[in-house]
Structure 1
Amino acid sequence: MADIARMAGVSISTVSRALAGNPLIPKPLRDQIVEIAQTHGYVVNQSARSLRLRKTDTIGVIIPLAHETGQLISDPFFLEMIGRLADEITRRNYAVLLHKVVVTETGWLERIIQAHRADGLLLIGQSNQHEVLNKVARTYKPLVVWGAQLPGQSYCSVGSDNVAGGRLAVAHLAKTGRKRIAFLGAVDAPEAAQRFDGYQQGLADAGLPFDPALVVPAHYTMDQARETIAAFIASGVSFDAVFAFSDVIALAAIAALTEAGRSVPGDVAVVGFDDIVLARHSAPPLSTVRQDLALAAREMVDRLFARMAGDPAGSVLSPVELIVRGSSA
């Protein structure tokens, strides 16, 4: 920087401001300094700049998967959510730093924060780390989580009404005459537990008994879910409908049912949750409980930037919508 200052006949501070695009430096002089820098191969050391300014212009996006270590970032829900978050973040001229966290030793989130590689953090899902999030949120404010709202929660979350979604799905299936409605999905993460609660409430609303034999703890990945559902079909348990925790599990169910010679929706009606892009293009198209992920991403990023600025920003719960397509019609 001192070399460039000598060549341009200006001070080092003027070079620094010019390379940062400061409008207080006249544009012709800025252009001259930038040209000298480019000619001599000078680039700003962003790590040093971030240390000096204590600002990285980067947002960390974390996917915690302690509850389902085999799940991949290429999961359709994650891809869509990451894409929408990235659009909102880059619109604000910030970069995105992606973390997938499978092993969760004590202090894993604190270590990410202490590395100072991001100005704020967005988490996609709570996994089984609710208490960790609560502890960190007491002192670290630029943190927003996609997930369920839970009692005693101290962190900011954005999520959908999972209980209402479960009730909507079961009510729809019951209205079409289905009596033996299975629930597919593990219930060890907060969102899944709430959707299962909605499933149980929906059965009670429809006057249908709860049968533990119809609860199938399927994994979240397509291949594993398909194997689990195939085994459930082979067990001989009678069922005429499925409400799945996610669209991925619902699509796995349709594949397994088709392989077993059962028609969808003739023999078994299927409803998922999320409304990922694939849901509209499956055969038959998948009925699902729709979450507005575009709105969710916007709410998450808006709240994060408000918290980064020191402004209050609380949690929000968005309504869901039942989308009826060919898998249950």
Structure 2
Amino acid sequence: MPDKSAPTLADLARLSGLSTSTVSRALADNPAIREETREKIKALAREHGYRPNIVGRSLRTGRTQAIGVVLPLGHEVGQPVSDPFFITLLGHLADALTARGYDLLLSRIIPSNADWLRDMTETGRVDGVLVIGQSDQVEAIEAMAKRYAPLVVWGALMDGLSQCVVGTDNRLGGRLATEHLLKSGRRRLVFFGNPDFPELGERYQGFLQAHAELGVAAPAHPLAVHLTPQTAYETIRSFLDETDAVDGVVAATDIIALSTIRALSERGLRVPDDVAVVGYDDLEIAIHASPALTTVRQDIGRGAQAMVDLLLRRLEGEPAPSLVMAPKLVVRASAP
């Protein structure tokens, strides 16, 4: 076999003395082929630099071996893919998909009509779709979830909807953050985040629930802060210009919490002495903040693995229920 040409399946069959169908099934880890034979064929393929014909495999199986990952940006059209939460989750998703033999096809979408998700699911480019965040697109996602099985969403689980969702118990997380501040003696709390987003709305409900359970009057309204750092900072700075009646902040995300610390510092307010701050996510940047950020941890790595597992189960027609993970409060210097 000339070195300059890549070996084919027929070449491997000739070298091994087996049929092309046996070689093909061995490379696909078909359990009908003995493990010893499978390992022998794989070793031969590595030795001779064999690469599978992806197009041919797709034609035979009807699968693209690609999974679409979609970021629908409805309210937050300016939120970049480089957002630390997106990057963290995408990294875990890419690792999990690669380990299962799939490629990742990423789309950042600013929805302009109700068909944005259909464009991804019905083009034949992917075998299934993972959606990161529900934004203001719950209805569009729900409509597709009813007719397209291999669809899994990172977001908030809502009663009465058929979406397969992976996420944290956001209401409990918001309650844990708020209880921590109230039990430490803080009484003038404010929630920074836009409750129109399903996940953030649940965190705000937890904020209100903690006040009610502890018999403390909650503020009349949250501060609807955007998720992009600079915009969040500017909104928080304007808020602080108008009031100093705050001694604790429950931020809907770590990014908002860090923007809060920046705005407080520029006003000469000390964290946590004057104002304690709690975030949500426990991203890598939280531990490196100054002061280190108290936050609600959601296990993003576990969630990404679950999204991939559930999607592939649904792709095979197997039952795959939603997963709601328990949050954990991580106490650091910003709210001891």
Q: How high is the TM-score relative to the length of structure 1?
A: 0.88
Large movers: runs of 4+ above 3 Å: 4-10, 14-28, 43-49
Find the aligned partners of 1:194 and 1:104 in 2 and give their Cα distance. 26
Aligned partner of 1:281 among 280, 288, 305:
288
> What are structure 1's unaligned runs of at least 5 residues?
none
Aligned partner of 2:158 among 150, 158, 163:
150
Deviation at 1:122?
Answer: 1.0
> What are structure 2's unaligned runs of at least 5 residues?
none
2:83 matches 1:75: yes
Find the aligned partners of 1:154 and 1:179 in 2 and give their Cα distance. 39
Find the aligned partners of 2:219 and 2:182 in 1 and give their Cα distance. 15
CA contact (8 A) 2:192 2:251 kept: yes
Query: Which residue does the alignment assign to 1:94?
Result: 102
Deviation at 1:127?
Answer: 1.1
Secondary structure (helix, strand or coil) at the match of 2:70 reads strand
Deviation at 1:104?
Answer: 3.6
Aligned partner of 2:302 among 288, 295, 299:
295
* Cα distance change, pair 135–263 in 1 and its aligned pair in 2 (3 A): same
Query: Which residue does the alignment assign to 2:198?
Result: 190
* Cα distance change, pair 17–167 in 1 and its aligned pair in 2 (3 A): same
Deviations 1:8-42 (A, max 9, x none): 998xxx779868946879968x969x96x98xxxx
Query: Which residue does the alignment assign to 1:253?
Result: 260
Secondary structure (helix, strand or coil) at the match of 1:216 reads coil
Deviations 1:204-254 (A, max 9, x none): 1222212225x2111101111011111111112511110000000000000
2:212 matches 1:225: no
2:181 matches 1:166: no
Find the aligned partners of 1:5 and 1:280 in 2 and give their Cα distance. 51
Q: In structure 2, give the amino acid aligned to 1:179.
A: R
Deviation at 1:97?
Answer: 1.1
CA contact (8 A) 2:10 2:20 kept: no
Query: Which residue does the alignment assign to 1:263?
Result: 270
Deviation at 1:86?
Answer: 1.2
Aligned partner of 1:50 among 18, 34, 58:
58
Deviation at 1:112?
Answer: 0.6
Find the aligned partners of 2:240 and 2:65 in 1 and give their Cα distance. 51
* Cα distance change, pair 175–17 in 1 and its aligned pair in 2 (3 A): same
* Cα distance change, pair 272–5 in 1 and its aligned pair in 2 (3 A): closer
Deviations 1:133-161 (A, max 9, x none): 22111221111111111121111111111
Find the aligned partners of 2:87 and 2:277 in 1 and give their Cα distance. 23
- How many residues of Structure 1 are paired with residues of Structure 2 in the alignment? 320
CA contact (8 A) 2:9 2:24 kept: no
Aligned partner of 2:219 among 200, 211, 216:
211
Find the aligned partners of 2:328 and 2:247 in 1 and give their Cα distance. 23
2:200 matches 1:200: no
Deviations 1:64-105 (A, max 9, x none): 111210001111111111111111111112111111111341
Q: What is the percent sequence identity of the aligned residues?
A: 42
Q: In structure 2, give the amino acid aligned to 1:171.
A: E
Query: Which residue does the alignment assign to 2:135?
Result: 127
